[in-house]
Amino acid sequence: MMKLLKLSLLGILVSACAAKETGSGDISRMPRQTPAQEVVERITPMDIDSRKARQIFEKRAFENGLEVFAVQKASIPMVTISITVRNGAFVETEDLDGLAHFYEHMFFKANERYPSQRDFMQALNRLGVELGPNMNAYTSTESVRYFFTLQSHLLDQGLEFMSHALIRPSFQQEELEREREVILSELDMYDSDPSHSFFQNEVLKNLFSEHYTRKNIGGSREVIRETTQEKMREIQNQYYVPNNSSIFVVGHFEPNELWASVERHFGPRAWSQAPDPFTERPIPAHPPLEDSIRAIKRDRVQTVTVTKAFHGPSFVENDRETVVFDLLGRLLNRDSSRFQKELVDSGLATTAGFSSWTQRHTSLLMFSLEAMPEKAQAAASKFQSLIAQMSQGGFFNQNELAVAKTGMEASAAYDTEVGQRLALGLGNIWSSTGSLDYYVNYIEMLRSIELKDIDQALKKYIGDQHFVVAALLPEEAKEIELSLR
């Protein structure tokens, strides 16, 4: 329940950066990833006509600053309610490291309407909602999202239930202590995973060293141990306010009833507007790397993992370039790609791939491979050589580009049909960009990309930038050389 959202580095992720799939291609080709690598979900519309894309949803802005988006899907009598808050690791200084995730746990506890955990669970039972498959929450770097799916005729009761959890939490000390232990146990579990520890300490911490806490979803044990009810209340008052939140409703519903219900439970009489949290607490920029960094870690593993990571384009400032790197994931992770043939089909590596973790506040671009120890040096050398060749241009052909675009559109079409996935994806786009324009314009941007755009982006972000190259080795394996050029 309520765990950090896991990343798997492939899949269109509703465009290459999703909750469970990112980049694109065959998931079986990628090394197992870890919870801290959660990425931004992006759901993309099928139609190139942005006017038609806008017709997919209806938006209303309330006087207290709350924005609500409704997507009609009348095929089944079910509805998903998702609430997104602009909170997450990106707001966290060292003294707040991990508290966005802690707060997420407390959402599912007692509140003024349901004064005990037992009352909370009984109310869920009356709605026919089960924690886990039908109700859950995800904390990521740039959003926290809560959602559940229930029968359409219970929409008003569902919105009322969510309003109590969102607006009137109790933060009871007994429950705070219980969740503190749960979260510390989660951190122990994640840190016992060599892949997780490698990604956090050798890759992420080196790539974003100046503001690492703003990428570290799991957080600091010291902060988790010492947090108080007062700290939870501070987070609520600063970030859990209507003008920093949005609601997404996807499924079968009667529009007039929906808007009346939202006004009743979340409108200005129920939930008061507050100062913009980012006016007083602006988010600092992640500075570019001053030099390339090499990192080696040994642990209890059987295979060698090599990763090469870069800063990438960000939402809003470089929207079209983020789509280029979505395409790159699809191009590189296909079985038929030159990247796969020269690394995996050749027998040098067991898996290889590329992912883009697109963010508003500096993205992550990451190439990875896994190889047996006796082939690790040859695989790493070929891996770095192929990345260098890509950055020089001319690595892909027109047919590969056309196939990749078609595959991304097909994946996007599927993802828009899954209510929970669509609601969560729209929430992440809104939280990072402040609107759904990226969603509306995505396919139009995708279809406009040419080979020269890929070459230019690779040169700009890969060829001309410093990077982190890191290896995770078995304890007794031979050292491998990793070039910093």
Q: What is the mean pLDDT of the chain?
A: 89
Residue 333 in contact with residue 340, Cβ under 8 Å?
yes
Strands 293-299 and 468-474: parallel
Contact 469, 308 (CB under 8 A): yes
**Which DSSP helix (H) or strand (E) runs through 11?**
none
What tokens appear for 301 in the block?
């593993």
In the chain, % of residues over pLDDT 90? 84
Helices 398-415, 437-448: crossing angle, 10 deg rounding: 160
Q: Are the beta carbons of 28 and 21 closer than 8 angstroms?
A: no
Residues 283, 473: Cα–Cα separation, whole Å: 36
What are the start and end residues of each CATH 3.30.830.10 domain in the chain? 13-280, 293-474
pLDDT < 70: residue spans in the chain: 1-55, 133
Q: How far apart are CA 69 and CA 250, in angstroms?
A: 8
Pick the closest to residue 144 from 180, 107, 113 (CA basis): 107
**Which pLDDT score is estimated for 48?**
38
Residue with tokens 């909170």: 87
Sheet holding 135-139, edge to edge: 58-61, 67-72, 245-251, 78-85, 144-151, 135-139
Contacts of 118 (CB under 8 A, 6+ apart): none
pLDDT score, position 413: 83
Instruction: Give the three-class secondary structure for 418.
Output: coil
Q: What is the pLDDT of residues 94-139, one digit of tens each?
A: 999 999 999 999 999 999 999 999 999 999 999 999 888 678 999 9
- Give the model confidence (pLDDT) of 91-104 as tens digits: 999 999 999 999 99
Q: Hey, what CATH topology would domain 293-474 get?
A: Cytochrome Bc1 Complex; Chain A, domain 1 (3.30.830)
Cβ within 8 Å of residue 310, ≥6 positions away: 207, 364, 365, 366, 461, 462, 465, 467, 468
CATH number assigned to the domain covering 13-280: 3.30.830.10
**Would you give the DSSP letter of residue 479?**
P
Closest CA to 281 of 87, 421, 149: 87
Are residues 358 and 329 in contact, defined by beta-carbon separation less than 8 angstroms? no
Q: How many residues does the chain have?
A: 485
| CA contacts within 13 A on the Cβ side of 431 | 35
